[in-house]
Chains A and B, each alone.
Chain A
Amino acid sequence: MMQLFALNQKELFLRLKTSENGLSSDQVARRLVEFGANELATAAKKNYLLAYLVQYIHFFAIVLEVAAILSFVADHYAPNEGSDILGYAILAAVIINATFTFWQEYRADKAMEELLKLMPTKVSLRREGKIVAAMAHGIVPGDIMLLEEGDKVAADGILLEATSLFLNLSSLNGESAPVARDLLPGEAKRALDAKNMVFAGTTVLSGSGVAVASATGNATEFGKIASLTKNVRKAITPMQREIIHITRTFTIIALGMGCIFFALGLFSGKGIMTASIFTLALIVANVPEGLLPTISLSLSLASQRMARRNALIKNLDSVETLGSVTVICTDKTGTLTKNEMTLKLLWLAGGEEISISGEGYREPGEFSFDQQNESSENRLVAMFIAGLLNCRASIDEESLRGDPTELAIVAAGRKKGITAPEMKKVQEIIFTSERKMMSSVYQEGETTWLFAKGAVETLLPKCTTFLASDGTEHPLTEADRQAALTRADTFENQAFRVLLIARGKKAAEEDLTLLGLIAIMDLPRHGVSEAVASCKTAGIRTMMITGDNPRTAAAIANQIGLTHDRVITGPELEEMRDEQLEEILAKETVLFARMASSQKLRIATALQNAGEVVAMTGDGVNDAPALKKADIGIAMGISGSEVAKEAADMVLLDDNFSSIVIAIEEGRTVYFNVKKFVTYVLASNAPEIVPYILQFFLKIPLPLSVIQILSIDLGTDILPGVALGSERPEKNIMNRPPVSRKEKILDREVFLRGYLLLGVIEAMAAMIAFAFFLQQHGWQYGTVVLADPLLHRQAMTMTLLGAVTCQIFNGWTMRSWEFSAFSLGFFSNRLMLWAMATELIWVWALLNVAPVQKVFNTAHVPLSDLWILLPFPVLLLLSHEGYKWLRRRKNSQATALPDGG
């Protein structure tokens, strides 16, 4: 049985139950019910209010909400003790956390909106023998569609009539060259390859046609792309996973500790009220309330830094995902190369080879002949005139117009100072992928000129003479043809695109005179080789995906140092099973050549199944599914379609591969900066928790109030946290392997550094300052309730200051995870300096500003009592720097061992 596009018109009408006069209105109405409207299914609209409210029922939020309720209950039974302020403060923390998380997680997915813009709203149809204008969504299978130049096609259809019909199929296959349509399908097996089919979402570039609609809505080929784009859902990002892990761990610790001490409180006879307040305080002390907003702010700052370096981040979480990237799948043209074709070599039919210096369209250059005679220059000019008169491209100061190959000819002509003479163009026979050549016919007085350029294998058979070294036309012998073919082959082996230039003296593409060959190449971008090398050092595999032939792809790859284990072509990929592909991709670096954009999705999926974190570049409409599937979809800012940009997580403003590597460096930096920040926060948890535990077991007054804990978590810790988030990359950031999926921010080392090393010192500082102050002012051990409330407030202020002063130095030393903070330069993170200054001002305010003292339950402490605080920050600084030194030593020994024995 035959495909629909292979049927003759009679059978086609029979199968679709239609006629050349179209359907009746009754039939249309019934088919609309049978097949549905010609619409692409869009995703259900997100309920943003519901999504926001969900943030309030997370585990983390619920704990804080219960704490707030307990505070209000405590205030009800014991008013004027500040419990209500505490309740409001905790609620504020909940709202801040919920808002930041919501802001980070939800953004509008506009890829589908952009896809829908490719569909028309109104169409011309023939129904009941009359031409009618109808809404595009009303088309049903069997409708007769009338197509004119400039029309967008609304449904897939089979052509019944076609007059010089050319379509732009780039939305389906990524190719922007016009594609000719015919009444015969050719040798197609699939609808997409059938030359007598038109497709929804494509545009009529020229000509006209009549087609019978064969599929509508989601059943169209464009509907499949829309479905692939819409129905791809990314896995949770590493950062989202980390946040879940961190908040869950902290919440479990907080609740666990709260429950234990609540039970201990009850059994030790402290009473349910005291035990509850105590539990509440411990929960608040354990939960890092400022963590989520600070992470969001850090990511936001990182995304701003990346935007300044030409990588525009659309989804904040993607910043950190970049740090985990293990494979970059990159396009060649425009990303690794300049997307500026340069005419580098030229061969005149007389036998001379000319090399041209200067890259791109605007750089000047020199012409070097390998041999030269009197007529060489004239023949070169003749060849350029033939080339220039047969192209539409133009280069001026402000703009470039035309396709890259033609621009290369114009640019080379400019280098030599050759311009096209004024002649009257009478006809242009355009380039198509089937013809592989283009011609222009000019009239110069009585003489007709035809200038042609195209693929050697197409155009050489049409040549009968050549312009020889004596400047005259000679018959083209078999030996001459062979010489031209050999030269073309030599150029192609060097990854050049080779075009033959010819001219004729009649308006037909025959009996042409061979003028010569031009060799054009899209040269690698500057800095790409270094970026590729940097990826290699960073343990990231770079795989090129290109539509070019394997030879060209391999030549470019070699030029930029992109090593590969094997080349897989599009047809080979088609034959491969998924498991086979996954196995190859898990071990080998592959260069993909002759690829269709639609195959990118399969590559991304296979790499992800092989456990890789994939960054994928793309620019076309049909790249959108792969961009959405990849862990990081990267769209091209200059050459990319709006659909690709909307589907991507990151947009490269300069289309440059080097910017991806910069973004990855930034992503890795963010990962370690968040790690530093979490350690920094953990350290301050210790002086918040320890006073409560000590007060529980020892007979001492309360060393720190809950509101004072919040003043650290939501006050003094935030700015240094953000400053840590904006710290520059560590020296060896791109010498490490990518962050593994199994690696966690909150790992054993973070706990060790945060709680045991730095936290213990901070807790010591807080408690020694508290006890020393009380001791100095006549307090006796065993006195739990102090007679002088001012003395108690002063003592609590000392505890708070003990923690805050240590945190100032903690922020400074935490700037590097591995290296000495002193090696980073004093002014290299100005935000940290501002944060430290702000903390010092805050310390002064706690000691001297009455409203601040009232809210945070602090009091003025004489300078003579503050000296006790001084040794601890210094001790903390030295301890952490010492720890890092030991770690570096251990690492260098470990690295030295395998080689050194």
Chain B
Amino acid sequence: MKVIAAMNGLVSSDVATLYALRYAALFDYTLCLLHVLNPADRREEVELSMAEAEEAATHYRVKTERVFLTGEPTHAIREYLAANRTDTLFCSTRIRTKKRFFQNSLSEKLSRLSLPANLAVVRVAHVNAVFVTENILLPIREDRLSAQKFAFFSSLAKAFGAATEIYSIHLTDRRGLAALDTRTAKMLFQKINTRLSHYVNTMKLLDLPLTIKHALTGREIDQILHHLARHDFQLMIIGGRRGSPFPGFFRENPMERLFWHTPVNTIAFYARDRE
């Protein structure tokens, strides 16, 4: 089984590779350093990054391999994934700017495809955070947490030996919020805690500290950003939503908003398509 890091020689791609490395080390998978050759390539930079990744991999006793593909990047990667059993593909992302509005990044294109592997899109806010990950946040809506996402979250937590927090957000409007008294809110939170209790038990088995916190809000992205600014997290994992092939012209996609404004490194996780 492989873990693939899609590399392009940029700083954020190097950071994404380090996340992939820690993940691969946990399961003893081979780390595949993959690059799709293109005309505007800086191959020497990519190879330098690969060399650094290989050096880091020796420290974690992870086997690595270099793979250079050619052709249209998404097709090439898709074909490679089809031919090679892969657990997760790690890929860094970039900011969507007005200038490059119609020019989707590789990560965006991949996130819209149905892939035979999990996809982890990494947005880097702090270059060094990957070396000092102590607290990981997983925001969810109420108790909606898939087993795959939790598995990815707990694996990374185990890989880093980090403390974890599930931040459960209950959406309500301002009037609903005003009508809710403390007792009712606590009962609601208790109900969510009960539903999430099996995840808590799993984390106990993994010997990882997990806290569940709750929020009642009408604006979940703002609430998550507020929570991140208040607490000391180095990594956030969010559930990726397979987007429309057309970018939002009028309204900002919430995921993009979170990616754009996040003050911590963030991984959007897209579970593999069921075979």
Q: A34-B11, A610-B182 are contacts. A228–B230 as well, Cβ < 8 Å? A: yes
Q: Are B263 and A224 in contact (CB under 8 A)?
A: yes
Nearest CB on A from B35, distance (A): 16
A837: CB under 8 A from chain B? no
B274: CB under 8 A from chain A? no
Distance, CA A550 to CA B126, complexed state (A): 37
Q: What residues of A have a CB within 8 angstroms of the CB of B260 in the complex?
A: 36, 41
Distance, CA A244 to CA B10, complexed state (A): 54
A260: CB under 8 A from chain B? no
Q: Are A2 and B226 in contact (CB under 8 A)?
A: no
A17: CB under 8 A from chain B? yes
Q: Are B182 and A225 in contact (CB under 8 A)?
A: no
Distance, CA A3 to CA B129, complexed state (A): 8
Distance, CA A127 to CA B245, complexed state (A): 38
Q: Are B132 and A224 in contact (CB under 8 A)?
A: no
Q: Map CB proximity to B onto A1-27 as digits: 1 under 8 Å, 0 otherwise.
A: 111100000000001110000000000
B114: CB under 8 A from chain A? no
Considering only residues 4-32 of chain B, those with a C-beta below 8 Å from chain A are: 10-12, 14
Cross-chain contact of B228 among A31, A35, A227 (Cβ < 8 A): A227
Q: Map CB proximity to B onto A593-622 as digits: 1 under 8 Å, 0 otherwise.
A: 000000001100000011100000000000
Cross-chain contact of B127 among A36, A214, A227, A236 (Cβ < 8 A): A214
Q: Are A219 and B125 in contact (CB under 8 A)?
A: yes
Q: How large is the interface on B (under 10, 10 to 19, 20 to 34, 35 or more residues)?
A: 35 or more
A249: CB under 8 A from chain B? no
Q: A34-B94, A219-B263 are contacts. A227–B175 as well, Cβ < 8 Å? A: no
A99: CB under 8 A from chain B? no
Cross-chain contact of B177 among A44, A142, A236, A578 (Cβ < 8 A): A236
Q: What residues of A have a CB within 8 angstroms of the CB of B223 in the complex?
A: 231
Distance, CA A236 to CA B175, complexed state (A): 6
Q: Are A35 and B12 in contact (CB under 8 A)?
A: yes
Q: A3-B128, A231-B229 are contacts. A241–B11 as well, Cβ < 8 Å? A: no
Distance, CA A17 to CA B12, complexed state (A): 11
Distance, CA A228 to CA B263, complexed state (A): 11
B218: CB under 8 A from chain A? yes
Considering only residues 221-252 of chain A, those with a C-beta below 8 Å from chain B are: 223-225, 227-228, 230-233, 235-236, 240-241, 244
Q: Map CB proximity to A onto B78-116 as digits: 1 under 8 Å, 0 otherwise.
A: 000000000000001011010010000000000000000
Q: Map CB proximity to A onto B118-154 as digits: 1 under 8 Å, 0 otherwise.
A: 0000001111100110000000000000000000000
B178: CB under 8 A from chain A? yes
A141: CB under 8 A from chain B? yes
A741: CB under 8 A from chain B? yes
Nearest CB on A from B237, distance (A): 17
Q: Are A141 and B230 in contact (CB under 8 A)?
A: no
Nearest CB on B from A13, distance (A): 12
Q: What residues of B have a CB within 8 angstroms of the CB of A611 in the complex?
A: 181-182
Q: What residues of B have a CB within 8 angstroms of the CB of A244 in the complex?
A: 175
Q: What residues of B have a CB within 8 angstroms of the CB of A240 in the complex?
A: 178
Q: A36-B260, A41-B261, A141-B127 are contacts. A3–B132 as well, Cβ < 8 Å? A: yes
Distance, CA A290 to CA B230, complexed state (A): 44
Q: Are A34 and B10 in contact (CB under 8 A)?
A: yes
Q: Are B261 and A227 in contact (CB under 8 A)?
A: yes
Nearest residue in A to B178 (C-beta to C-beta)? A236
Q: Are A15 and B128 in contact (CB under 8 A)?
A: yes
Considering only residues 140-197 of chain B, those with a C-beta below 8 Å from chain A are: 174-175, 177-179, 181-182
Distance, CA A33 to CA B14, complexed state (A): 15
Q: Are A2 and B263 in contact (CB under 8 A)?
A: no
Distance, CA A30 to CA B260, complexed state (A): 16
Q: Map CB proximity to B onto A137-155 as digits: 1 under 8 Å, 0 otherwise.
A: 0000110000000000000
Considering only residues 200-229 of chain A, those with a C-beta below 8 Å from chain B are: 214-215, 218-220, 223-225, 227-228
Distance, CA A328 to CA B247, complexed state (A): 48
Cross-chain contact of B125 among A190, A218, A230, A231 (Cβ < 8 A): A218
Interface centre among B95, B125, B177, B218 (most CB of A within 10 A): B125
B41: CB under 8 A from chain A? no
Q: What residues of B have a CB within 8 angstroms of the CB of A223 in the complex?
A: 229, 263
Q: What residues of B have a CB within 8 angstroms of the CB of A44 in the complex?
A: 252
Cross-chain contact of B229 among A16, A214, A225 (Cβ < 8 A): A225
Considering only residues 24-49 of chain A, those with a C-beta below 8 Å from chain B are: 30-31, 33-36, 41, 44
Q: What residues of B have a CB within 8 angstroms of the CB of A219 in the complex?
A: 125-126, 262-264
Interface centre among B179, B217, B223, B252 (most CB of A within 10 A): B179
Nearest CB on B from A220, distance (A): 8
B232: CB under 8 A from chain A? yes
Nearest residue in A to B176 (C-beta to C-beta)? A236
Nearest residue in B to A218 (C-beta to C-beta)? B263
Q: Map CB proximity to A onto B197-219 as digits: 1 under 8 Å, 0 otherwise.
A: 00000000000000001000111
Considering only residues 108-150 of chain A, those with a C-beta below 8 Å from chain B are: 141-142
Q: What residues of A have a CB within 8 angstroms of the CB of B65 in the complex?
A: none
Q: What residues of A have a CB within 8 angstroms of the CB of B125 in the complex?
A: 35, 215, 218-219
B225: CB under 8 A from chain A? yes
Q: Are A31 and B11 in contact (CB under 8 A)?
A: yes
Nearest residue in A to B222 (C-beta to C-beta)? A231
Distance, CA A442 to CA B47, complexed state (A): 64
Q: What residues of A have a CB within 8 angstroms of the CB of B225 in the complex?
A: 218, 227, 231
Q: What residues of B have a CB within 8 angstroms of the CB of A233 in the complex?
A: 174, 217-219, 222
Q: What residues of B have a CB within 8 angstroms of the CB of A35 in the complex?
A: 12, 95, 124-125
Q: Are B178 and A231 in contact (CB under 8 A)?
A: no
Distance, CA A3 to CA B12, complexed state (A): 18
Nearest residue in B to A41 (C-beta to C-beta)? B261
Q: Are B11 and A2 in contact (CB under 8 A)?
A: no
Distance, CA A230 to CA B228, complexed state (A): 13
Interface centre among A30, A601, A611 (most CB of B within 10 A): A30
Q: What residues of A have a CB within 8 angstroms of the CB of B222 in the complex?
A: 230-231, 233
Q: What residues of A have a CB within 8 angstroms of the CB of B217 in the complex?
A: 233
Q: Are A231 and B226 in contact (CB under 8 A)?
A: yes
Q: What residues of A have a CB within 8 angstroms of the CB of B175 in the complex?
A: 236, 241, 244
Q: Are A232 and B226 in contact (CB under 8 A)?
A: yes
Interface centre among A215, A228, A231, A602 (most CB of B within 10 A): A231
Q: What residues of B have a CB within 8 angstroms of the CB of A601 in the complex?
A: 230
Distance, CA A611 to CA B10, complexed state (A): 49
Considering only residues 742-800 of chain A, those with a C-beta below 8 Å from chain B are: 742
Interface centre among A2, A44, A227, A609 (most CB of B within 10 A): A227
Cross-chain contact of B226 among A3, A4, A228 (Cβ < 8 A): A228
Nearest residue in B to A3 (C-beta to C-beta)? B132
Q: Are B127 and A16 in contact (CB under 8 A)?
A: yes
Distance, CA A47 to CA B266, complexed state (A): 31
Q: Are A218 and B261 in contact (CB under 8 A)?
A: yes
Nearest CB on A from B189, distance (A): 10
Q: Are A227 and B95 in contact (CB under 8 A)?
A: no
Nearest CB on A from B70, distance (A): 22
Cross-chain contact of B100 among A33, A235, A236 (Cβ < 8 A): A33
Nearest residue in A to B251 (C-beta to C-beta)? A44
Nearest CB on B from A249, distance (A): 15
Q: What residues of A have a CB within 8 angstroms of the CB of B128 in the complex?
A: 3-4, 15, 214
Nearest CB on A from B49, distance (A): 9
Distance, CA A230 to CA B230, complexed state (A): 13
Interface centre among B10, B179, B223, B226 (most CB of A within 10 A): B226
Q: A3-B132, A227-B229 are contacts. A236–B174 as well, Cβ < 8 Å? A: yes
Q: Map CB proximity to A onto B223-264 as digits: 1 under 8 Å, 0 otherwise.
A: 101101110100000000000000000001000000011111
Complex A-B, nearest 5 residue pairs according to Cβ-Cβ distance, in ascending order: A1-B131, A224-B229, A236-B178, A231-B226, A227-B229
Starting from the known contacts A33-B100, A225-B229, A610-B182, 4 additional A-B residue pairs (CB-CB under 8 Å) come to A34-B11, A36-B260, A223-B263, A230-B222
Q: Which residues of A contact B (CB under 8 A)?
A: 1-4, 15-17, 30-31, 33-36, 41, 44, 141-142, 190, 214-215, 218-220, 223-225, 227-228, 230-233, 235-236, 240-241, 244, 578, 601-602, 609-611, 741-742
Pick 10 A–B contacts, CB within 8 A, sort by A. Answer: A15-B131, A41-B260, A214-B127, A215-B126, A218-B262, A219-B262, A227-B225, A233-B222, A240-B178, A610-B182
